[in-house]
Amino acid sequence: MARKPKGPLIGQLDLGRQVPQRAKERSGRRGGGRAARVAQRQEKGAPQAVRPGLTGGAFQPLSDPDIARIHEAALDLLDTIGIGDPTDELNEIVLAKGCHLNEHGRLCFPRALIEDVIAGACREYVIYARGSRSPDYDIRAGGRRVHFCTAGSAVTTFQYESKTYRPATLIDIYDFVRLIDQLDNIHLVGQPVIATDVKDLFAHDISVLYAQIAGTEKPLSMSFADRSHIKPGIEFFDLVLGGEGRFLAKPFVVFGGCPIVSPLRFGEENLGVLIETSKLGLVNDIAVAPQAGATAPAPLAGTLVQLAAETLACLAVVNLVKPGCPMTFAMWPLVSDLRTGAFSGGSGEEAVLAAAAVQIGKYYDLPNSVGASMSDSKIPDAQAGYEKGVTTALAAHAGCNRVCEAAGMLGSLMGCAFEELVIDNDMLGMVLRTVRGIEVTDDTLSLEAIKQVALDPGHYLGHPQTLALMESEYLYPDVGDRTPPGAWEQKGSKDMLERAHEKVVEVLSSHYPNYIDAAADAEIRKRFPIKLPLKAMAAESGRW
Amino acid sequence: MARKPKGPLIGQLDLGRQVPQRAKERSGRRGGGRAARVAQRQEKGAPQAVRPGLTGGAFQPLSDPDIARIHEAALDLLDTIGIGDPTDELNEIVLAKGCHLNEHGRLCFPRALIEDVIAGACREYVIYARGSRSPDYDIRAGGRRVHFCTAGSAVTTFQYESKTYRPATLIDIYDFVRLIDQLDNIHLVGQPVIATDVKDLFAHDISVLYAQIAGTEKPLSMSFADRSHIKPGIEFFDLVLGGEGRFLAKPFVVFGGCPIVSPLRFGEENLGVLIETSKLGLVNDIAVAPQAGATAPAPLAGTLVQLAAETLACLAVVNLVKPGCPMTFAMWPLVSDLRTGAFSGGSGEEAVLAAAAVQIGKYYDLPNSVGASMSDSKIPDAQAGYEKGVTTALAAHAGCNRVCEAAGMLGSLMGCAFEELVIDNDMLGMVLRTVRGIEVTDDTLSLEAIKQVALDPGHYLGHPQTLALMESEYLYPDVGDRTPPGAWEQKGSKDMLERAHEKVVEVLSSHYPNYIDAAADAEIRKRFPIKLPLKAMAAESGRW
């Protein structure tokens, strides 16, 4: 460079350049220990910089009085105009327990009833991991423990080469799931796409379940198209676990749907699922998702009022069917782009609404979920990056138990991309590191180390404390790049998308798991319409 | 699509699709009002979704007891080992006021002295905007008001076509600044790069100032290479403002440097600047930037302890030179990638450290700044997106008065990209919208609207409340894309970088401001070595 400034300037802060040369050399000579450190990092039980279930809660966008006002307004709605389109089956259960129909035939919930329901609701549930993922990836949903989950049920898959979308298939689901299986910061695997090539609804749901269970031992979520699929589903799960009744004892899948058609009406099919899963005592893994400006009020506060009312109504249904039955308090606010009326998932409005919704769920002390990382971008680019990063960080820091849609989704949930899953895994790791926060102890305050180093040698490279903390205090990205500009140019100026694609091909051309044992697999294929051929689950299929 | 689900499924949440057709048509017919709405949006004084100086503070990563422990440990350091390499000039001032030299010749600050300094320090300062930007872009640094600023002093500029970096030039600075001039969510313009083509230090500093002042009327920051440049700088500013003494009455530029060489030593040149600007009563716009694992302890808490001590020492110097003289409490923690020892700006550790540093500054109730948006990526891609989004969002929500490095920077501050400035402007808008948060009032709770719409028509599109809030409740991205996948593919599957480049060319080929009036410009060019030719400041230069 032409100019050599005499002192450090604002911004010119690569203090690596200020480190004495001798220290750099010493640091370089530590190279021999690198393999050992990598081995240590991979060793099970070794200290890790991040893990599933770190505690959030440091971000609180609403004040306590604001939450109380939203709660009061929601109780008012439930008490006066209630929820439309209740089914006869529902009315039969709840009218005897304190609900009533108003003059419009809408189901109303008195304030005291809702307050009792909240007080008696289940405050924690567990979704179990299987095999080698147990117990590290068990999800204990409750408190402010944060987990990242896929979801989305998109209809299309992004194609890297052509930068276009094509209809998603069942094989895509298996491929997405086995990729996620190798991405440590995705803790639960929900269905990223639907299998548009499987037309029969039952064959679809069962085959999707098969693809998910074969592809990973992480906990799972999915949605059933019809309540009649639930019982065969449980039979399937018991076959996987090797014995009748094992699933109900230790569920590794949660399911549900959207029982509400906003504003403030029930949806018949998913209300049926809700009643059915409640009777069985299963986790009701719902999502209530009104869209501000379209199916919810344009003021963000108004959307929260309506959404709180809708979600509390579901909580009441669950608890009136079976007191204490677990339900995800899933306030999922969505946002319209008011220029077109279409759903937009990547805005600042979405980010702050979702975090506020999480905060309301935690005000009730209920296990919850929210949608985040729902970028409007159609390609893994800078827009996707910041929309996902900001929405996810705020939802996680609000203390959301399950941040759903956290990885892979693009185009306002219209598509999923393999490469985006890999990229989001790094993004989620970064966010998790921020959620872990800063531990303040006598050791970490480092007074003695500072006093010693300030006098001599004047830097912390090579200090025992620094070496000891390399793997436990700091997280290193997988495909995120930290090389200097020159080295980066020499390697072809690759962007994150190109590097992620290389990782996708590397994993998908080699990692073909089937986490269902062979005997169970044969039995399952005998009893159920599994549309995923075994030969598609092997490297010989040659598609990657 | 092959499959038509009967009810809404989790994830399949494009509720735009659920909106009744009639409503969509009605919405479409509103097209005639669009021009009026755009005009309204552009009208000065019209309600805006975001503005400079929104209030943060909802993110608090440290507990109160943790902050108190960090504070106590910092006071211990200042009292016992103090700061090394004090100059004679400094000692002469401060030894008479309660400081003392310890056995290592290091300058120590007793606890009571530091506590007095904090109690008496300046709690707010203003950096004024000029011309049409006044007063909307005046920066009143204090409280938890959030502003976004460029900075960085990188040595290279990213070249879109070749995806490589070249040495940055003075003309780049003018081009960066006039581009920023058109990006509403960047509130203060610091020097994004240094002019490597101007070798003389005085000509460099004066020409950079010229390029900044000619290119925008937003408030400015910069760093002087030598204290001897300050007085001519002020003469220059007075010429711009049209009268001697006008700058000191209403400063539109702040400046400073890094007076500390971490760990815990003074840097001679910038300490000189600090003393000089303090004597003049100017804002001391410093940055203290130790790097965890290299020039600060590896435990994040230890880095905060050392950094708090270093920044408090600067505060003490300023206030012992001139009590109450304004200083930016600029705790800028940086992070090493411990695999190489190099600075890494885009990590989760960086994000949470920076937010914690902001929180400590606010614990002292001092105007502050921090570095964020310092991605390690070399290209505006997904990595740059999420690293910038997460670091910026957390710093802003912690309530930072001036989030510096907020736009344009890449490669761990080694380079700046025109396209990244455009992209970051959208990112910053999104973050600002989340900082604005959710207003809870009788109106926004929307109880009456909800009751009315829930019964009929069942959606909020076209509701007067929705129409009234289009421009004030919702922010629309500039180059961020929200079109559906099909439309996006038809337009060539462009990513954010491609669209941003189009915007760069559009602005830089047409917007050639000179916000210095012609007579003052002639006088300035007569008195100072301005290396930016007037002919480079016109479309005829043909470089875009």
Q: What's the mean pLDDT in B216-244?
A: 95
Contacts of B9 in chain A (CB under 8 A): 153, 194, 223, 225, 257-258
Distance from CA of B422 to the nearest CA of A (A): 11
**What is the H or E stretch that residue B443 is in?**
helix B442-445
Contact call for B14 and A199, based on CB within 8 A = no
Least CB–CB distance from A431: residue in B340, B390, B446: B390
Contact call for B7 and A270, based on CB within 8 A = yes
Nearest Cα residue in chain A from B61: A58
Residue B151 CB neighbour total at 10 angstroms:
34
Q: What gap in Å lies between CA A217 and CA B301, rounded to an integer?
A: 36
Distance from CA of A419 to the nearest CA of B (A): 11
Give the pLDDT of residue B256: 86
Q: Which CATH superfamily is domain A54-61+121-436 in?
A: Trimethylamine methyltransferase-like (3.20.20.480)
Residue A446 contacts B where some CB pair is shorter than 8 Å: yes
Contacts of A356 in chain B (CB under 8 A): 438
Chain B interface mutation, best of A87, A410, A438, A472, highest count of B Cβ atoms under 10 Å: A438
Q: What's the mean pLDDT in B308-320?
A: 98
Contact call for B10 and A151, based on CB within 8 A = yes
What CATH class does B56-61+121-436 carry? alpha beta
Give the pLDDT of residue B5: 35
Contact call for A66 and B413, based on CB within 8 A = no
Residue B203 contacts A where some CB pair is shorter than 8 Å: no
Contact call for B473 and A299, based on CB within 8 A = yes
Residue B5 contacts A where some CB pair is shorter than 8 Å: yes
Give the pLDDT of residue B47: 75
Contacts within 8 Å (CB) and 24+ apart, B108-112: B108/B78, B108/B79, B108/B80, B108/B81, B108/B82, B109/B78, B109/B79, B109/B82, B109/B83, B109/B312, B109/B313, B109/B316, B110/B79, B111/B75, B111/B78, B111/B79
Whether residue B246 is predicted with pLDDT greater than 80 in this model: the reply is: yes
For A226, the token pair is 């019809």
Q: What gap in Å lies between CA A222 and CA A233, rounded to an integer?
A: 11
What is the full per-residue pLDDT of chain A (544 aa) written as tens digits?
333 333 333 333 333 333 333 333 333 333 334 455 445 545 556 779 999 999 999 999 999 999 999 999 999 999 999 999 999 999 999 999 999 999 999 999 999 999 999 999 999 999 999 999 999 999 999 999 999 999 999 999 999 999 999 999 999 999 999 999 999 999 999 999 999 999 999 999 999 999 999 999 999 999 888 999 999 999 999 999 999 999 999 999 999 889 999 999 999 999 999 999 999 999 999 999 999 999 999 999 999 999 999 999 999 999 999 999 999 999 999 999 999 999 999 999 999 999 999 999 999 999 999 999 999 999 999 999 999 999 999 999 999 999 999 999 999 999 999 999 999 999 999 999 999 999 999 999 999 999 999 999 999 998 999 999 999 999 999 999 999 999 999 999 999 999 999 999 999 999 999 999 999 999 999 999 999 999 999 999 999 9
The DSSP symbol for B366 reads -
At B429, phi and psi to the nearest 5? -60, -45
| pLDDT-derived band at B449, boundaries 50, 70, 90 | very high
- How many DSSP H helices and E strands does chain B contain? 20, 19
Size of the A and B interface in Cβ pairs below 8 Å: 676
Which of B 336-395 lie inside 8 A of A, CB atoms? 336-344, 346-349, 351-353, 355-356, 371, 376-390, 392-394
Residue A84 contacts B where some CB pair is shorter than 8 Å: yes
Contact call for A165 and B27, based on CB within 8 A = no
Give every CB contact of residue B264 below 8 A, 6+ residues apart in sequence. A450, A454, B77, B81, B82, B83, B84, B106, B306, B309, B310
Give the pLDDT of residue B8: 35
Which of A 262-291 lie inside 8 A of B, CB atoms? 262-265, 267-270, 285-287, 289-291
Give the pLDDT of residue B43: 56
Q: What gap in Å lies between CA B114 and CA B364, rounded to an integer?
A: 11
Contacts of B440 in chain A (CB under 8 A): 62-63, 66, 69-70, 301
Distance from CA of A351 to the nearest CA of B (A): 7
Chain A interface mutation, best of B48, B438, B489, highest count of A Cβ atoms under 10 Å: B438
Instruction: Report residue A293 CA to chain centroid gap.
Output: 25
Strands A220-222 and A260-261: unpaired
Q: What gap in Å lies between CA B61 and CA A53, rounded to an integer?
A: 17
Residue B470 contacts A where some CB pair is shorter than 8 Å: yes
Give the pLDDT of residue B184: 97
Chain A interface mutation, best of B376, B445, B463, highest count of A Cβ atoms under 10 Å: B445
Distance from CA of A291 to the nearest CA of B (A): 7
Nearest Cα residue in chain A from B478: A383
Residue B298 contacts A where some CB pair is shorter than 8 Å: yes
Residue B1 contacts A where some CB pair is shorter than 8 Å: yes
At A259, phi and psi to the nearest 5? -75, -5
CB-based contact B209:B191 (threshold 8 Å) = no
Least CB–CB distance from B415: residue in A306, A447, A485: A485
Q: What's the mean pLDDT in B471-480?
A: 97
Give the pLDDT of residue B28: 35
Give the pLDDT of residue A256: 86
Residue A21 contacts B where some CB pair is shorter than 8 Å: no
Q: What gap in Å lies between CA A3 and CA A164, rounded to an integer?
A: 47
Contact call for A11 and B433, based on CB within 8 A = no
Least CB–CB distance from B431: residue in A270, A348, A451: A348
For B442, the token pair is 């009788």
Each domain of chain B, given as residue ranges in start order, spans 56-61+121-436
